[in-house]
Amino acid sequence: MGMRSRVLTAAAVGVCLAAAPATVAAAGGGIDRPAGRQVLPAGDGWAAYGPGTTGGAAAARDQVHVVQTRAELVEALGGDNATNRSNATPKIIYIKGTIDGFEGADGNLLSCEDLADPEYSLSAYLTAYDPATWGRVAPSGPLEQARVRSVTNQTRHTQINLGPNTTIIGLRGALLTGLTLMADTANNVIIRNITFEDARDCFPAWSPTDGETGNWNSQYDQISVRRSQNVWIDRNTFTDGDNPDSAQPLYFGRPYQVHDGSVDITHTASLVTVSYNRFAGRDKVMLIGSSNTVGPDVGKLNVTIHHNVFENVYQRLPRVRFGQVDVYNNHYKLSGDDFQYVLGVGVQSAIYAESNYFSLGQGITADKIIYDWSGTAITEKGNWVREGWRLPRHVDLLAAYNAANEVPLGSDAGWTPTLRHGPVLPAPLVPLATALFAGAGKLPV
């Protein structure tokens, strides 16, 4: 049987599984379905290293929950959002319907004004720190302190803290909006089959020395992994919904950016697999390593990124510091004037990019896929590019980058991936495989 036939057969099997009814059994006030107890397959990327990733698969019946509100989600995670990160009891949490991080104790939605410190207002902030009068120095003083207190208020409410040994999985149509799932010192976590939407920051910070003219920077990712190992993020969809950064106003001549990353992996986190997700209509997507400082991150930040779809997204796909990052069999569908780059080669990074497929819109060329963020080398092989209406073809991405830039990057990232589940597909088959299996709603839950 040829490779194409094997892929099509696998696809047909996957569709049948998705259509099959799942077993449902009473379990501790909730339900228990096979997908909820599924563990990361052996060898499936860096998250399979060491003990592997099992999430809440060992959960007792009374630790299987179905939640429909923010309060129920916090309760299922241990009962207190401030301390849930230390709750290592194995647990499986099914998300049903829409949960909004701005939901208040009475069930009504809070506004940004509700979370703001009494001494903060955006209009006062814009007046006080206008570069024309304040200059190009960092904001300081009572009003900036009030903004920071406002961020603390929002973080306390919209950042949902996970503990170790946790599986969070969406039932059909599950949506988490206006919140961050934070895995900080939370080893062995699985997050699957959820649409994440609009993790907005009510109180972005003005950074006047960020870039040539300054930038607004926001606080909240949709999923943040910090100081954690063995994390599997699989078959989710990430979007800004009807609140894209492109629709935000300009302040101080710069976009008022209210979103940060989709999946950021930082602060010594490692052994993460990001598979079969869909990232759509976002600016910043995936930051791996948040500082150029040589220190605790060395030897960490090892991540596998495979069979994802990146559609109409602009940068950090991913941007990498320090880690050994395996990027293979992903489909990049890129367009728009705001596009910046795909693979950010940062300090001591070791990206291995193999058999990815790049569909490039008008004005985007192969030499723009790689960007040098003070790195030295990247390994790339078997990648294909379709530019506009031209026929797809194999392209040496590194050669294209080096031909267009004065300082070349080396071709050997210094390692070869060994943790891969199944054969690497030839790049021309990647669009079909990812269309069938990537994104929320593709699991039989």
Strand order in the sheet with 98-100: 98-100, 175-177, 195-197, 237-239, 278-280, 309-311, 331-334, 357-360, 384-387, 393-394
E strand or H helix at 359, and its extent? strand 357-360
Rounded to the nearest 5°, which phi and psi values hold at 123? -60, -40
Sign of the dihedral through C-alpha 83, 84, 86, 89: positive
Q: DSSP letters of 422-437? A: SPPPPGGGHHHHHHHH
Rounded to the nearest 5°, which phi and psi values hold at 18? -65, -30
The letter for the amino acid at 52 is: G
Bridge partners for 331 per DSSP: 309, 357
The letter for the amino acid at 441 is: G
Contact status, residue 46 vs residue 303, Cβ threshold 8 Å:
yes
Distance of CA 305 to the CA centre of its chain: 10
Query: Any idea which residue has 């998705």 for tokens?
Result: 18
- CA nearest neighbour of 52 among 61, 62, 43, 65: 43
Contact status, residue 235 vs residue 277, Cβ threshold 8 Å:
yes
Distance of CA 95 to the CA centre of its chain: 18
Active site residue 316: yes
Catalytic residue among 200, 316, 319, 321: 316
Q: Quick check: bond before 41 cis, omega within 30?
A: no
- CA nearest neighbour of 352 among 420, 264, 417: 417
Q: DSSP letters of 296-309? A: TTTT---EEEES-E
Contact status, residue 163 vs residue 186, Cβ threshold 8 Å:
yes
Residues 6+ apart with CB under 8 A from 265: 225, 272, 286, 287, 288, 289, 301, 303, 323
Contact status, residue 227 vs residue 249, Cβ threshold 8 Å:
no
Helices (H), 193-272: none
- CA nearest neighbour of 203 among 222, 181, 183, 218: 218
Nearest 10 degrees: Cα torsion 110, 113, 115, 116: 180
Residues serving a catalytic function are 316
